Chains A and B, each alone.
Chain A
Amino acid sequence: DTGVSQNPRHKITKRGQNVTFRCDPISEHNRLYWYRQTLGQGPEFLTYFQNEAQLEKSRLLSDRFSAERPKGSFSTLEIQRTEQGDSAMYLCASSLSTSGELFFGEGSRLTVL
């Protein structure tokens, strides 16, 4: 297994554009998490799935953010009408529901100009 894979690794976009990130988890993991990390801060929880069900979404997340995991495998995180404040590293992690150990991808860095 190659671990958690995220694409693209880096995205530069103009304010107001939509962006989508993809995460491919470790194949046998049924949980998938999205976090956002800015410089000097810890990962901030955004949302997580068990199989295809979205179990929780952060109250801090605006309606411009949406995530899906349609078949319980890969997941996408879409940000609509991007703002400069959305610039951050977006991290995906996966785990087994019986374990608290998260396996992280290398992240997708978003730069909004």
Chain B
Amino acid sequence: GDSVTQMEGPVTLSEEAFLTINCTYTATGYPSLFWYVQYPGEGLQLLLKATKADDKGSNKGFEATYRKETTSFHLEKGSVQVSDSAVYFCALSAGYSSASKIIFGSGTRLSIRP
């Protein structure tokens, strides 16, 4: 079945470091891909998305490119801030519709040191 695998955490970086969180997926059909973020004490919220191959999603300085050939959707940010400390979840929409059920990875906890 459809699934998402993301790098295990926790990931600890210093402020202004470069961030990559790896995500690969297995899917039938043509899934949309998402990154959701959960800040401490808050609910999950969408960070960015891409709906087709080669699309790049971006928000708040984060970017991810939908790579069909490598079935990947890695999250990157050039210079992280303390406020980026959170848990990041890669996700995909299963099935043949962009609005089918959403399947999540296990999450990667990111901590940024001042």
Binding site for B on A (CB under 8 A): 4, 31, 33, 35, 40-45, 48, 55-56, 91, 93, 95-107
| A100 lies within 8 A of B101 (CB) | no
Chain B 27-56 per-residue mask, 1 if CB under 8 angstroms from chain A, else 0: 000001010100000111110010100000
Residue B62 CB within 8 A of the other chain: no
A15 to B107, CA, bound (A): 29
A-B contact count (CB 8 A): 60
A64 to B103, CA, bound (A): 22
A42, A55, A101, A104: the one contacting B43 at CB < 8 Å is A104
* Cβ distance A91 to chain B, nearest Cβ, rounded Å: 7
Which size class do B's interface residues fall under? 20 to 34
Q: Which residues of A contact B42 (CB under 8 A)?
A: 106
B36, B43, B51: the one contacting A107 at CB < 8 Å is B43
Binding site for A on B (CB under 8 A): 4, 32, 34, 36, 42-46, 49, 51, 89, 91, 93, 98-99, 101-107
* Cβ distance A50 to chain B, nearest Cβ, rounded Å: 9
Q: Which residues of A contact B36 (CB under 8 A)?
A: 102
A101 to B93, CA, bound (A): 10
25 contacts between A and B (CB under 8 A): A4-B43, A40-B107, A42-B4, A42-B91, A42-B104, A42-B105, A42-B106, A43-B44, A45-B102, A48-B101, A55-B101, A56-B101, A91-B44, A96-B99, A98-B99, A99-B98, A99-B99, A100-B99, A101-B46, A102-B46, A102-B102, A104-B43, A104-B44, A104-B45, A105-B43
